[in-house]
Structure 1
Amino acid sequence: MQATVTDLRSDVAILQLRGELDSDTAGRLRSLLADLLERPVPRIVVDLTDLRFCDSVGLSAFVTSKQVITARGGWLSFAGANPFLVQLLETVGLTRYFAVFPEVEDAIAASRL
């Protein structure tokens, strides 16, 4: 998995993931999320457009970050997921806890509401 963090605005970070997120690469994701969670109010859009695969170990990194994000008044949303990832997020119930948007721009627009 490759990852890039872009600060779109002073209060929103875009975390773009590429490749495969699995037990071999989840540590990198946890490290990136830990850095983003240091912000006073973490607001993160995870761009899944170029992520081809994700397993349960990868998803657990998002789930474990949820408590910190919520406690600080922030949020984490997903954008651009392919049909496999959308189905995975729905199957494991993450769509009840994280917003999933078709495009990054949609997630950003929703953050302004």
Structure 2
Amino acid sequence: MQATVTDHRSDIAVLHLRGELDSDTAGQLHATMADLLERPVPRIVVDLTDLKFCDSVGLSTFITSKHVITARGGWLSFAGANPFLSQLMETVGLSRYFAIFPEVDDAIAAAQL
């Protein structure tokens, strides 16, 4: 898995994930998320457009990050999930705790409301 971060506006980070997120690559995601969580108010859009696979180990990083994000008044949303990932997030209940958007631009626009 490859993880890159781009900043949109001064207060929103977009985390672009590419490849497969599983137990072998979850450490990289954890390190990237730890850096993002150091921001005073973490506002993160996770771009899933190029992520082909994700298992429960990968998802758990987002779930555990939510506590820090919420405590600091921030948020985390997902965008661009393929049908497999959309179904996975629905099945494990992430859609009840995180906003999920069709495109990154939609997630960023929703943050401006």
TM superposition score normalised by structure 1: 0.99
The match for 1:21 is 21
Structure 1: segments with no counterpart, 5+ residues: none
Runs of 4+ deviating beyond 4 Å: none
RMSD between aligned residues: 0.3
The match for 2:70 is 70
Query: Quick check: 1:44 aligned with 2:44?
Result: yes
Letter in 1 for 2:8: L
C-alpha separation in 2, matches of 1:41 and 1:9: 13
The match for 1:83 is 83
The match for 1:31 is 31
Deviations 1:51-106 (A, max 9, x none): 00000000000000000000000000000000000000000000000000000000
C-alpha separation in 1, matches of 2:43 and 2:104: 13
C-alpha separation in 2, matches of 1:94 and 1:26: 18
How many equivalent residue pairs?
A: 113
C-alpha separation in 1, matches of 2:110 and 2:84: 24
C-alpha separation in 2, matches of 1:3 and 1:71: 24
TM superposition score normalised by structure 2: 0.99
What secondary structure is seen at the aligned counterpart in 2 of 1:23? coil
